Structure 1
Amino acid sequence: MKSTTRRILAAATAAPIVLALTAPAAYAEPAPVKIDFSGCADRLPVGADPAQWFCNIFVIGGGSMKLGSITQPLTEPMTISMASGPDRAGNPAQVVTLKSKPMTVPGGALGIPGTENLPGMTLQAQPKYVGNLGLSIDDSGNLHSALDLRIKLINALMGDKCYIGTAKAPIKLNTTVDPTSLTPYDDDVFGLTLNDDAYSVPGTSGCGVLGPVANLRGGLPSAAGKNTASMRTYLASKAYTDLYPALRKKARSKVVKRLPFNLPSSVLRRK
């Protein structure tokens, strides 16, 4: 697995997180989440060569995150669309968007099970992308994925600007890919599980006079080592010249169909 992850990282350095992974055609089972490329940016940076750009889709389709004293099931998919490739100077560039829906927080605003659907007691959490989406590899060859988030808290009394974390002080995830979790699906989709048990969670901001109450409810701020995340994620990638055929006419070099790596057969084998 070490040599494979190093090849992935090398490709990601040239074009951040381009994961054009392929599975044998015999694997025809569809992924359990919808992979939608419609969120891919329809404009590339000025001067970028469409032949060298991909749209990468990451769908976090299950799992949970512990934020202080709240364990939040990931009941709604989070879809990250990332256009990636070299700019006209050859430097890595990316355009990232995240789409998510609010998720009901168990226990609601008071943390009492069964009250989350009572009027005024509903509390919802909605992840918002801050930045820093990327790959890294440690000295042992383990692959990590970085992602900075803040969490919007939605409650009738908290206003519209109540968040856990801020754009300058977000929740900084540095997940490790569980190599035993890799699963191929139809249409060149791969599933894997991302884990992190070392991140800290900042306190709330923008919650007005209810800020201290929100922090008390959530046990925030929460130091590193007291929070855990396990996120089932599905990955897919398409070349921009396939997504937008008109861009083929603007391509200045040979269209990149696949990156020069594949997962080993031991990973693709079903258990």
Structure 2
Amino acid sequence: MPRLSTRTRLATVSALTALGALASLGTATAAEPTLNGEWAPFTRCPVDHPAMLAADGFDRTPQCVVSTSASGTIKLGDTTVVTGKTSLQMGVVQNADGTSSVVAPASGALVAEPATVPGGLLGLMCPSDIFVITGICESLENSSLNKITATMESVGTPYAFDQTAGALTDLPIVALPVRIHLENPLLGSKCYIGTAANPIVLRPENRDYPAFGMTFFQGDGTPDAAGEMSRIDLTGATQNDDTFAVPAATGCGLNIGLINAAVNAKTGLPSASGHNSLTLANTQTHLTGLNAPGTAAPDAGKVLAENWHSAAQ
């Protein structure tokens, strides 16, 4: 197989870089509100969603749930990445029959900080026996183009939420469909591990018991032992999932998959259940709602939304 000429390698890298730079120009996301007092963690609760507003407080009880972790790790096939802060927020409608329905914020249930992939592109796809990739690998030596970040994104509404599992160990708390966005100018703007049609589905479980706390507060977030709102805090637990499967990467390189094969071969994707894992350290989980069944019925959802908005500063 002939080697790429220097001219061809530079042309390939230049084209990919230009397209990657254009793809990186995105739109700014809306700033999250600052909420008063006990409402503070629930900045993205979808209180205005029709399903939340329709909750009557008898057959359907509305709640807001947030779970954050400052750090962790995720192993996908042969690659392990140290994660930054993750924030899962969602609305939950608890049904009288014991089931629940999850409502995702418009921005997606999960928001995560980008994580740096060890070794960058050189570690992710090099060396390679694909001659086009070999040329790119040689051009990446000591290049600022080598850095690559991975960001976990929601690609659907979470489901199978189990409030009781959040206080126990070794039980799935929620099913969370996600994809991993790999970002680097040479990868283009559509390089993902997982898709909306074929997501990675995470089912985190507590590996140790969280500390339990409960407070009461007024509708605007002011602490008050006689307030109409309650908040449950489950903090300090390590959460883990090693059951999920990981599909192959797609869309990597010129947005048409030029580099897919190299990325998948080097990282060991697709990867079956049992070969991947997620660990979230020191999770902080909070759940809030009206503090007694029937409170504000039949307008519990509307009252919850009014209270949330009254706490906005």
Normalising by structure 1, what TM-score? 0.65
Amino acid at match of 1:60: S
8 Å Cα contact 2:68/2:285 also seen in 1: yes
**2:248 corresponds to 1:203:** yes
- Structure 1: give runs of 5+ residues left out of the alignment: 1-34, 242-247, 257-271
User: Pick from 66, 76, 80: which aligns with 2:88?
Assistant: 80
Amino acid at match of 1:49: A
8 Å Cα contact 1:55/1:240 also seen in 2: no
The equivalent residue for 1:237 is: 287
Amino acid at match of 1:99: V
**2:52 corresponds to 1:38:** no
Note the C-alpha offset of 1:142: 4.3
Amino acid at match of 1:41: P
Give the 5 Å matches for 1:82-121: 82-85=90-93, 92-96=100-104, 97-111=109-123, 118-121=143-146
Note the C-alpha offset of 1:116: 11
Size of the aligned set, in residue pairs, is 211
The equivalent residue for 1:53 is: 62
Give the 5 Å matches for 1:143-154: 143-145=171-173, 146-154=175-183
Change over 3 Å in CA distance of 1:86–1:230 after alignment to 2: closer
Note the C-alpha offset of 1:184: 4.2
Change over 3 Å in CA distance of 1:48–1:86 after alignment to 2: farther
**2:275 corresponds to 1:226:** yes
8 Å Cα contact 1:199/1:225 also seen in 2: yes
For the aligned residues, what is the CA RMSD? Answer: 3.7
Q: Would you tell me which structure has more strand in proportion to its own residues?
A: 1
Note the C-alpha offset of 1:251: 2.1
Structure 2 Cα separation of the partners of residues 185 and 252 of structure 1: 24
The equivalent residue for 1:71 is: 80
8 Å Cα contact 2:65/2:285 also seen in 1: yes
- Structure 2: give runs of 5+ residues left out of the alignment: 1-39, 125-139, 216-231, 305-313
Note the C-alpha offset of 1:220: 1.1
Q: Quote the sequence identity (%).
A: 31
Note the C-alpha offset of 1:92: 3.8
